[in-house]
Structure formats: structure tokens, C-alpha cells
Structure 1
Amino acid sequence: MDGDPAVEPELDSFSLTFPLPYRVAFIIVFAVWAWGANLHYLYLVKIDVPALIRYPGRTSPHHPPHHLSTYRLATILSAVYAFSLLVFWVFTQRDPAAVLRWDWLPLTYLIVLIGVFLAPLQNLSNAGRGRFLTTLKRVSVGGIAEAKDGKFGDILLADVLTSYARVFADLFVALCMFFRPDGSATARPDRNCGGAFFVPLIMAVPSLIRLRQCLIEYGRVARGPQTAATGWGGQHLANALKYFTAFPVITLAALNRNLGPSPGLYRAWVCACLVNSLYSFYWDVAKDWDLTLFNNAHQRNAPDQPFGLRRRLVLSAHLDRISDFESSLFVIEFLEVLRRWIWIFFRVETEWIRNQVTLGVAPDDILLGDYHFKDDDEDED
């Protein structure tokens, strides 16, 4: 159990086997595999993801598909991860003192992991990693490209970052504990390390990035000519409001943690979670995915969208409850990343459909939901 008194207060039982730095690394490596699976499945169903994100296509038919390059990178990262974790288990054997003493090993792997993304290694998805870093640099300050330069890719990456907010916070916690006097990166995570509100600030940054992107998009629409397709930009403001609803959740959670039990704060936090979750769920279904779940019965039961869904893909569950146990926190982080992985299938498919059915208007500039799907019979005429 996480609360095993035999290893408290320095370590919980879960961290003896799976310390925080390895948990962070696991979710990052999983993300590479998940992106490869996204590319692979969408490739099989004839959806050209590189074209949608304005990524250069293969110049030769002899070059491997993008998903194979991603799988190759994920395999290398996984092999090094497995070796590092196995060595850690062999030398620590769940001994609390040894686990604390060997904290440098998982941090070394994290350095290797970051180095693989940053180092210009040939034959290891070099172009893809370069494009990723360029996009990340632009997105990290809330920037967003024009539609013709890959705006959709910027949106995808920024939304993925929101799902990794807690992972980034845990990465900071591990580093903070490592550099703290008499501290250890593999000790029981101290999420007040660096100050009571430093971790919440880190968790808020991804939502702030997306909020700024939405405001930039609104500004572009407001400055440009208004048409029936672009509208006045109100939908971008509504999208910005969705990301703004994350801030009360983060703030109230920090207050609950640092000020002690308070029924009033807890109720406020529950209400904030409810607003954020329902708003996000509605936006995902009705706006990001263009599903008809909230439409009238005729649209909801259309042949191509039975029960308000599309035939090709499935909806994911959304988990919002948190726990103080380290194992539960890890599961929640993993499930959020898994949810985002499934979200990408829907979001990319939706963007592809918009590109297929739109004529004469840049697909990135269409207000979500402002077009209608064609029936299969109409497509064949």
C-alpha cells in the first residue's frame, strides 16, 4: 500500500519500485509510442496526417512511413528505459536507503531522454525531432502559426501539453528534490518543493498557452474581413474561456493543499472541476470533433453518425477525481495522456473531413460546426 508505515515518511511503497523520475519517463516514452500509433492507424485509413500539419512528405517511396520512424525512436527509448529500470531494481531491491542513494540513475535516463530529442542524431527521426522542437519553441510562448504554415499542428501540440501539465509538474518536483540539500529525487514526492504555488504555476502554463493561442486567433479574425464562414471570432473567445476554467481548479486545489481542510474550499473546488469538465466534454464532442451528440434527433441519428458518433472511432472516458496516493496519481496522469491519445484520433479525423468537404475556404478558418457532412450517396453523384 502507498501508506505503508514501514517506509513512511521518506518513501511510499509504490515509489520503492517505481520512483517518480521513472514514472515521468514512462509517460513520456508512452507518448512517443502513442503518436506512432496515431500516425499508423490514420495512415491505414488513408488520412494524411503530415499533410494536415504541414509536415514535409517522404521524398522517396523507399523511405519508411512516418509511423515506422516514430516506432523506431520509441523502441530505442524503451530499450534504454528498460535497461535503466532493471539496473535500478537489481541494485536497490526495494531497500529504502538504496532507493534514495541511487536517485542519480533515473535522472540520468531523463537526461538521455531529453538528449535524444535535442541531439542531431542521423537515422533517428532527425527531421521529425527538428520539426517538433521548432514547433515546441513557437508554441511554448503561446504562439501559433498561420493556417498555411501548420496552425493545426501547433494546436495539436499545445493541447497535448495541457494533458502533460501534471507530468511537467512532477518532473520539476523530482529535479527540485534532487538539488535540495539532503534531498533525493526518488524520495516520497514533495509537491510543495520550491514553494507552495510553484507547482500549480507549472500546471497552469499549458492552459495559458492555449488561451493565448485562442486570443491570437480571435485577433486575426477581428482584424480580417468578416464572412459567414469566419464570423466575428466569438467561437475563439468561447474556446479561450474553456481553458480559463482550468485556472480556478488549479488555484483551489493548491489552496486546499496548503491551507488545510476547508469544506468551503473543497466545495468550490468541486464546482470548478464540474464546470471545467462539462465545458471541456461539450467542446470536445461538439466543436473539436464535430459530432452530433448534442444536436437534434435527426442529425444525431444520421447514417454516418449513429448515436451522435462517427463510425470510425470511439469516445474516451474522462477521469477527474484525484487521490493523495502516489500510485493513484500516476494512474490518473497515465489515463489523461491516454485520453489525449484517443482525442487525437477524433481531432485529426475531423480536420481531414473538413479538408475533404470544404471548397473555396481555408479549412483552418472555418468555424467549427459551420459545415454539413455529405451523405455517401451524394458523394457518388
Structure 2
Amino acid sequence: MYFPLTFQVLFLALLAALGWTTNLLLLARAGINVRPILQLAELPTAVYSDDSSASDSMHQKVFRLVRAVGCVVAVGWLVCVLLPTPKAQICATILTYLAICCILVMPHKALCRSVRRQFVGSLVRIINPSLADPVFLSDVVMADILTSCARMFADLYLVLCQFSIVFRPWAFNNIDTGDSGISTLATAVRAERERSLCGDAGIIGVLLVAAPYAFRLRQCINEYLNAAPGSSEAKRHLANAVKYASSFPVICLSAAQKKTVVDGIMETKYSDWMLQVVFGMWLAAVTFNSLYSFYWDIAFDWDLVHTTDGWKIADLIAPVQNSNSVVSADDPDAFTKPNRNDDKAYELHVLSPADALAQIENSPSTKTTSGSCFPPFLRPKLCFSSPLLYYIAMAIDFLLRVAWTMKLSSHIQIDMLAYGGFWLNAIEIYRRWQWTFLRIEKEAAASSGY
């Protein structure tokens, strides 16, 4: 089957875009208005709908754009399957990539111009190194999605290396195959990687994998600097920055391990004890990052694991500090208003568990789970009535947080399996789809509009 890396990257990108579309669709059907939650109207260059189908909902516009790009990818892949020579296949693939770029940047109002402008504008704000600009939730969600696609950026670099061979004919002429010159394009690609930085993406690949985490780290530092000094909000952003910073040792040590063995041949000057030290450091780094990331998902991003006595798992990092003021449980701005009687913002006194539960259950503007108390390890207010959905999401998130280490381990060599790397990337995209779904649901549950 003809399914090279060039089209694996495209299909994974389409899968991520389709996952975002289904997020919007399911949230809309659940009665959740995504636009105010993502703060789309507050963006510095807010894009108003200027498409011909202005009455369409957000998920319909995104799906229409994904469908157009998907048709281009499908046609390009089918053409490559029918072409007889590898060089012709590469040329057709290049045309497919160029067509996708033209669709995304075309100035015409057709094909969801507002959605395309929002996407490009979000990328620009994420890459922007400024520590003074405000950080919007839409950019946070986009940056987190990019971290799940980090490996795809290194693969994309290898794709560009493969494209460059078409424009350098000497790469074919200088390869000694022992027979009559070059036989396949794959041999030329491997030889070109060996003489350049393209070998398994090299240092550039490591930087590309680390880039999305660096962008997200910058956002956390930005939010920390803009928060009230010493507040729980500032502590939370600082702890979140530690989570993303812990990804860099994992990436660097994984790259160091992969350089030790190539096709079963040792290619390192390190002694055996040094290799064991590197592996031990990698194991410690990946264990800390995976468990800490899982804790952050359920404690802060999803705001789960509450107990009936008022304690929640998020208190392990940034407990809410007490003051003399009291806030109502159904006040939508309760956890965003500064305390007028105190110089420190966000330091609020939470009602007793019994009073808080009573207010939540009696509030007409909220939806609570059935019964006098909420299910174990969840929270008082849920947007979906089935607690099983949240339990399954937590279990899957833990398993997939750990499973992604297979992609980085030099001992498992998952890339040697048939499309092993593709399926692991697809699983990570699914995990991010699930995370995005409950991340927005948590914001909706915290508001009074649902």
C-alpha cells in the first residue's frame, strides 16, 4: 500500500482538524456556546463572519473547510498511487501541499475566510514571544493541540528534505548502489539524510518537537506575570509552566537514546554505565512528566476529583486562600473578581460544603447531577448527566499519557512496526480531542449560562 510519510502527516493533520470540528458539534448539541468561552470576541483582531453563509454555525464552517482540504489530500494521494515513478509521485505530492497552502491563505471570501483568518491569527499570537500581551483561552487550546502534534513537525521537516531531492538531481548521481545507479527514491532519501542534518530529523527535528512546548511555556509565564503577585492564580500558572518545562528533558534524553542504536549498530562513544545513566534519567523525566501532566488534566483542566468535605485535588498545588469575604456559588464572576476588602486579588473565602451544595442544587441556572450529593471524584456541577463519561475519560487519559512514551523509547522501536508511528500519533490526537472536549465543558460548568 502506498502510504508514505508525506501523506501520513496530511492525514494526521486532517484528523486533528476533524476532531476539533466534532468538538464544536457535540458541544453545540449539548447547549454550550463555545464563542464566549474561547473569548473569540475579545481577540485583538476579532474576525467577524464575512462568508456567504453567515448564518452557518461555527462547526459547520470549520467542517466545510476541512472537507475542502480533505478532498485535495484524497485526490493527491490517489494520483500518487496511480503514478508509475517515485519522482512523479513526489512532484504530485508537492502540488498537493501547495494547493493546501493556497486554500489557507486565499484572500477570497469563499471557503470560510473568517475561520481561516482566526486560525492563522491564532498561530501568529502563539508564536509571538511577547510576555505583555493577554493570553486568550482559544490560543491556549490551540497551543495545547499543537503540543499533541509536536512529532508531526519533525516528520514535516523530513518531508521537506524529501522534496528537496527532486530539485537536486546530483543527489541521485552520487549514490553508489553497487549496480546501475539509483534504484528507488527511498535510497536517495536515506543517502541524503546521512550527508545532512536530515538524519532522523537531527537537531532540527528535536527543536521542532520542542517548539510547541516552548510556545505553551511562554503563555504560562505570560499569565504568571499578569496575575496578582502571590495569588493562587499566579501559583497555578507557575506550576503549569513547570509541567511544560519538564517536557524538554524528555525530548532531549529521548533523542540522545535514539542516537545510540541505529539498525542494531552502536553509534556512540559512551560506555555502558553512561548509557544506563542516560536511560535512568530519561525514565525519571518521562515518569514525572507523564504523571504530572495527568494530574494537571484532571485537577485543573477538567476540575475533577472533588470531595464532599470541600477538598479538591487541585489544592495540592494552588489551594484557594481564605479571607473575610464570602462569594455565592452561583456567581459567574466569583473566582475572577478581586476582593475589595483585601489588596490581594482572587483570595476568596469559599462557602462551607453544605451551603455550597445547597446553593448549587437550588440554583435555577445550573444543572447538577441527580441526588443530594455529586458522584465520587467528580465535581458538584457537570454539564453531562452520565458520570461514567468522566470516569472513562480519566482512565483513558492516564493510559494514553503513558502510552506516548513508546514513541520516544529507543528500546521499543515503534517506528519499525508497520505504520506504528502513525497510529501512535493518531491515538495522541484522540487523547487531545477528549481533553479539549472536557476542557471547554469545565469552563461551561463554571459559568452561570449553562
Is the TM value for this pair above 0.5?
yes
Between 1 and 2, higher relative CO (CA 8 Å, sep ≥ 6) is seen in 1
Q: Paired residue for 1:6?
A: none
Query: What amino acid does structure 2 have at the position aligned with 1:115?
Result: C
Change (3 A) 1:231 1:62: closer
Give the drift of 1:299: 6.8
Give the drift of 1:231: 3.0
Moved more, 333-342 or 102-111: 102-111
Q: Is contact 1:138–1:144 with CA below 8 Å preserved after alignment?
A: no
Q: Is contact 1:39–1:66 with CA below 8 Å preserved after alignment?
A: yes
| 204, 213, 218: which one aligns with 1:207 | 213
- Within-5 A mapping of 1:281-360: 281-292=294-305, 304=369, 306-309=375-378, 312=384, 313-314=389-390, 315=393, 316-317=396-397, 318=400, 319-320=403-404, 321-322=406-407, 323-325=414-416, 327-356=419-448
Give the drift of 1:306: 2.8
- The alignment partner of 1:47 has SS state of coil
Give the drift of 1:62: 6.7
Q: Paired residue for 2:120?
A: 133
Q: Is contact 1:145–1:154 with CA below 8 Å preserved after alignment?
A: no
**1:136-180 superposed Cα distances (whole Å, 9 cap, x missing partner):** 101113457866xx7111111111111111111111111023214
TM-score (norm. length: structure 1): 0.77
Change (3 A) 1:297 1:281: farther
Cα separation, 2, equivalents of 1:27 and 1:211: 24
Cα separation, 2, equivalents of 1:346 and 1:297: 24
Q: Paired residue for 1:37?
A: 22
Give the drift of 1:216: 1.0
- Within-5 A mapping of 1:205-284: 205-222=211-228, 230-231=231-232, 233-260=234-261, 262-284=275-297
Cα separation, 1, equivalents of 2:67 and 2:53: 23
Cα separation, 1, equivalents of 2:293 and 2:9: 25
TM-score (norm. length: structure 2): 0.66
Q: Paired residue for 1:70?
A: 62
Q: Is contact 1:21–1:107 with CA below 8 Å preserved after alignment?
A: no
Stretches of structure 1 that go unaligned for 5 or more consecutive residues are: 1-15, 93-97, 358-378
Q: Paired residue for 2:361?
A: none
- Within-5 A mapping of 1:81-96: 81-92=73-84
Give the drift of 1:29: 1.5
Give the drift of 1:54: 2.5
| 147, 150, 153: which one aligns with 1:162 | 147
| 87, 92, 96: which one aligns with 1:109 | 96
Cα separation, 1, equivalents of 2:78 and 2:141: 34
Q: Is contact 2:9–2:155 with CA below 8 Å preserved after alignment?
A: yes
Q: Is contact 2:206–2:255 with CA below 8 Å preserved after alignment?
A: yes
Q: Paired residue for 1:198?
A: 204
Change (3 A) 1:324 1:211: same
Q: Is contact 2:131–2:218 with CA below 8 Å preserved after alignment?
A: no
Q: Is contact 2:126–2:215 with CA below 8 Å preserved after alignment?
A: yes
Cα separation, 1, equivalents of 2:425 and 2:377: 28
Change (3 A) 1:329 1:83: same
Cα separation, 2, equivalents of 1:61 and 1:118: 19
Give the drift of 1:47: 0.9
1:120 paired to 2:107: yes
Q: Paired residue for 1:366?
A: none
Q: Is contact 2:127–2:215 with CA below 8 Å preserved after alignment?
A: yes
Q: Is contact 2:143–2:212 with CA below 8 Å preserved after alignment?
A: yes
Q: Is contact 1:299–1:308 with CA below 8 Å preserved after alignment?
A: no
Cα separation, 2, equivalents of 1:329 and 1:39: 28
Change (3 A) 1:43 1:232: closer
Give the drift of 1:222: 4.3
